[in-house]
């Protein structure tokens, strides 16, 4: 899911299949290359830094793909 916070922050929400999948991605050169490209264009922020996350049932605006 891709959404937008009130401050304009774009959020990409996904979940990992397992902790093994996370570890595998951390070792995968293609995944690391993609993340490096994302890092050049993005600031990675903690969800808790967004105002909406300070409330139960946070509301974000969905962005259609």
Q: What confidence category does residue 62 fall into, taking pLDDT thresholds of 50, 70 and 90?
A: very high
Q: What confidence category does residue 64 fall into, taking pLDDT thresholds of 50, 70 and 90?
A: confident
C-alpha distance from residue 40 to each of 6, 16, 23 (Å): 23, 23, 22
Residue-level pLDDT at 26: 93
Contact at 8 Å (CB) between 3 and 64?
no
Rounded to an integer, what distance in angstroms lies between the CA atom of residue 40 and that of residue 1? 21
pTM attached to this predicted model: 0.67
Residue-level pLDDT at 18: 96
Q: Is 64 helix (H, G, I), strand (E, B) or coil?
A: coil
pLDDT tens, residue by residue, 7-46: 999 998 888 999 999 999 999 999 999 999 999 999 888 9
Burial 39-51 (b: 16+ CB within 10 A, else e): eeeeeeeeeeebe
């Amino acid at each position: 899911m891709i959404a937008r916070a009130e401050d304009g922050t774009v959020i990409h929400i996904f979940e990992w299949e397992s902790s093994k999948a996370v570890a595998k991605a951390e070792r995968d050169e293609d995944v690391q290359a993609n993340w490096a490209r994302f890092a050049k264009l993005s600031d990675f922020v903690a969800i808790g830094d967004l105002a909406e996350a300070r409330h139960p049932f946070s509301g974000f605006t969905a962005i259609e793909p």
